[in-house]
Amino acid sequence: MPVAIITGASKGLGRALAAALAERGWDLVLDARTGSVLEETARELAGHSGRVRAVAGDVTDAEHRGELIAGARALGGLDLLVNNASALGAEPLVRLDALALEGLRRALETNVVAALGLVQQALPLLRASRAGGAVINVSSDAGAEAYETWGGYGASKAALDQLSAVLGEEEPALRVWAVDPGDMGTDLYRAAVPDDADPRPLPGTVVPAFLRLLDERPVSGRYDAPSLLVAS
State CA 36 to chain mean position distance: 20
Which one from 147, 153, 189, 223 is the annotated catalytic residue? 153
CB atoms within 10 A of CB 11: 18
Q: What is the dihedral of CA 122, 220, 162, 152, to 10 degrees?
A: -80
The boundaries of the domain holding residue 23 are: 3-231
Q: What's the number of domains the chain is made of?
A: 1
Nearest of 90, 89, 92, 73 to residue 81 by alpha carbon: 73
User: What's the whole-model pTM score?
Assistant: 0.96
Backbone dihedral region for residue 81 (phi beyond 0: left; psi -120 to 50: alpha; all else: beta): beta
What pLDDT is stored for residue 48 in this prediction? 74
What pLDDT is stored for residue 49 in this prediction? 66
Cβ atoms of residues 38 and 54 within 8 Å: yes
Cβ atoms of residues 18 and 94 within 8 Å: no
- pLDDT averaged per 10 residues in sequence order, the chain, 232 residues: 97 97 96 96 85 97 98 98 98 98 98 98 98 97 97 98 98 98 91 88 96 98 95 60
Active site annotation includes 223: no
Give the CATH number of the domain where residue 88 resides.
Answer: 3.40.50.720
DSSP 113-150: IHHHHHHHHHHHHHHT-SS--EEEEE--GGGTS--TT-
CA distance 207 to 75: 24
The tens digit of pLDDT for each residue in 108-154 reads 999 999 999 999 999 999 999 999 999 999 999 999 999 999 999 99
What pLDDT is stored for residue 199 in this prediction? 85
